[in-house]
Amino acid sequence: MSNYYEVLGVSQDATPEQIKKAYRRLARELHPDVAQGPDAEDRFKDVSRAYEVLSNPDKRAMYDRGVDPTAPGGGAGGAGAGFGFQDIFETFFGAGAGGGQRGPVPRSRRGQDALVRLDIDLKDAVFGVHRELQVDTAVLCTTCQGSCCRAGTSPRTCEVCGGRGAVQRVARSFLGQVMTSSPCAACQGYGTVIPEPCTECSGEGRVRSRRTLKIDVPAGVETGTRIKLTGQGEVGPAGGPAGDVYLEVRERRHETFVRRGDDLHCTLPVPMTAAALGTVVELETLDGARQIDVRPGTQPGDVLVEKGLGVGHLHGAGRGDLNVHVDVQVPTGLDADQERLLRELAELRGEQRVPSRLAPAQSGVFSRLREKLAGR
């Protein structure tokens, strides 16, 4: 009987991790696709056989008592019978590369995240708002407290896989006999079965229910902003940790104000005479009524800026501005007296006729429009 400890180069009291590490090192050196020489293949088989025995607690105990489990009649059925396909992948590509299962799958898992749309008004985006939202989600079963079992019972070890969560099968491959592992169909890989499921949740550990989420929407949010509510999502199977809720904001259109970043814009109609003489207009803003001073000689397209009456900054203190765009209205449908007065005014100002020569581009309304489009 070969000394498998010497084959792997480890002591008799070596830990499973030391045995695995020694095997991986030797397997890389001696694999037929890597090593050269007539003895490489035989040594690779010896190393594989040694690892097969020493990596299995039962076979190792049998070997330590003087019985070779890989020998005919020894219990394993021949050289290489217990050499796992997962171990080959781990040797050359690292742990987990083979996709095999190591131990039973936890029955308790994290719940899924949820994405919920939240419609708000412009005023809510300006100042922030506290909202309550009803959602249908999964919550912890209060009857079994997530155990999935009826009162007085508990999960039972799966008799098919012995609690390992996986079953092994021997198949032939280019390396000889290879043992493959797959999830146990009897327990779905959990290693345990629920003999008497909770009648309230049908063994899920959670039930569907309607919850009320309390939300503090900060000032400055806009369409597309997402607010994360950590741990407010659905509870996972078997009472697993709750997922998160993501609120995606959609801002409703306002009938008066248009938002551009953190600034608000609106249009103020002003009669021609008021624009020429100047006036004070009361404007209803989101902060209440404000007196807007229209200076004498205000031109069409002029913008009156009211500082700090815009949207609150999402990141930082302060607010944007309110930009009031003046729309000078030219009177129509003049009666005889009004037309006579305007003609007299035009004569006094020498404006009876429109000049045939165009004004310089930089002094007109079109130049201001051009500058705005150019970002100046």
How far apart are alpha carbons 177 and 82 in whole angstroms? 8
- Residue 149 annotated in ligand binding: no
- Residue 161 annotated in ligand binding: yes
CA angle 247, 248, 249 (to 5 degrees): 110
Is residue 231 within 8 Å of 244, Cβ to Cβ?
Answer: yes
**Beta bridge partners of residue 246, listed in sequence order:** 115, 228
- Residue 184 annotated in ligand binding: yes
- Residue 148 annotated in ligand binding: no
The helix-helix angle for 85-93 and 16-30 (nearest 10°) equals 70
User: Tokens in use for 17?
Assistant: 């991790």
The CA distances from residue 6 to 14, 42, 66, 281, 308, in Å, are 11, 15, 15, 98, 82
User: Tokens in use for 312?
Assistant: 């609150």
How far apart are alpha carbons 250 and 311 in whole angstroms? 15
Binding-site annotation, residues:
141, 144, 158, 161, 184, 187, 198, 201
**Numbered residues of the known binding site for Zn(2+):** 141, 144, 158, 161, 184, 187, 198, 201
